[in-house]
């Protein structure tokens, strides 16, 4: 029990190269993915999935102890971290041509999970993230992604020193030209931290700043909303080309 709980922390996930997945839908998505599942923990009152993976039955009380969620779902899996996460590569030429979503210090697990899910919806397969962006295998990120994290690759690099395929870098900012007037999807498109936006060291890489036009009085959009609009517009441009 202590071991499973320890996997809530990134340092232990990296040490053991394993992570946890909670909830019936997410666990079933995991079983259908190419991830290697070590075992499943199931509460005594929860229906056990049909699988050849070893299943350990526990009491509801023990499941509550194991769960990282406010309401324990009764089903939990322990799986191995994928190679693309342990040894991240750079986005390919094809990725850059369709536009790469880049995350600069996005810390909120719900925002990252939503961005992963949205990116998959619009046909993207990789996200480039700075090393201080929240871990994509954080239990809350996994939950918010609703299974998409098993089909997307979040590649963690230091954006200050990242060297991949050469292409323009665009930063979402309140200043700059309209995102909707951009003619090409080619490049890296950066969404900044929820509170502080783009860091100065990342701004130095930006070729051009873009903003999302609007007419309301809201001060700004959060990272998940901004990223969703960006991904939608890149998808539209790609389909219109």
Q: How confident is the model at residue 112 (pLDDT cuts 50, 70, 90)?
A: very high
Q: What six digits make up the tokens of 20?
A: 């946890």
Rounded Cα gap, residues 94 and 124, in angstroms: 10
* Tens digit of each residue's pLDDT (9 = 90 or more) over 35-74: 999 999 999 888 889 999 999 999 999 999 998 888 888 9
Q: How confident is the model at residue 30 (pLDDT cuts 50, 70, 90)?
A: very high
Q: Which domains does the chain have, with CATH numbers?
A: 2-81 (3.30.1330.30), 87-240 (3.40.1280.10)
CB 106 within 8 A of CB 191: yes
* Arithmetic mean of pLDDT, 197-211: 93
* 3 state SS of 93: helix
Give buried/exposed letters for 136-165 (b at 16+ CB in 10 A, else e): bbbbbbbbbbbbbbbbbbbbbbebeebebb
* Arithmetic mean of pLDDT, 219-232: 92
Helical H segments across the chain, by residue range: 2-6, 10-16, 24-32, 60-66, 83-86, 93-98, 109-121, 139-145, 200-203, 223-240
Supply the pLDDT for residue 185: 96
Supply the pLDDT for residue 72: 87
CB 75 within 8 A of CB 43: yes
Is pLDDT of 79 > 80?
Answer: yes
Supply the pLDDT for residue 241: 77
* 3 state SS of 127: strand
DSSP E strand stretches across 87-196? 100-103, 126-130, 153-157, 169-178, 188-191
Q: How far apart are the first and last CA of the chain?
A: 53
Round the average pLDDT of the chain to a whole number and report it. 94
Which of 150-159, 163-172, 213-222 is least confident?
213-222
């Amino acid at each position: 029990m202590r071991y499973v709980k320890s996997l809530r922390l990134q340092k232990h996930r990296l040490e053991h190269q394993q992570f946890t997945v909670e909830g019936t839908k997410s666990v079933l998505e995991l079983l259908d993915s190419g991830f290697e599942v070590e075992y499943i923990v199931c509460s005594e009152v929860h229906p056990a999935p049909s699988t050849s993976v070893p299943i350990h039955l526990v009491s509801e009380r023990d499941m509550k102890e194991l769960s990282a969620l406010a309401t324990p779902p009764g089903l939990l899996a322990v799986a191995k971290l994928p190679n693309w996460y342990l040894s991240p590569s750079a986005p390919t030429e094809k990725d850059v041509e369709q536009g790469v979503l880049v995350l600069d210090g996005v810390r909120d697990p719900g925002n990252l999970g939503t961005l992963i899910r949205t990116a998959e919806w619009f046909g993207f397969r990789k996200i480039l993230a700075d090393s201080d962006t929240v871990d994509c295998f954080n239990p809350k990120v996994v939950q918010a992604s609703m299974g998409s994290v098993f089909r997307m690759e979040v590649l963690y690099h230091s954006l200050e020193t990242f060297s991949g395929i050469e292409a323009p870098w665009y930063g979402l900012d309140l200043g700059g030209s309209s995102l909707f007037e951009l003619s090409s999807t080619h490049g890296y498109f950066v969404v900044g931290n929820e509170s502080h936006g783009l860091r100065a060291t990342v701004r130095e890489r930006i070729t051009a700043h873009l903003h999302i036009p609007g007419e309301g009085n809201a001060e700004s959009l959060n990272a998940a909303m901004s990223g969703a609009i960006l991904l939608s517009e890149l998808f539209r441009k790609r389909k219109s080309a």
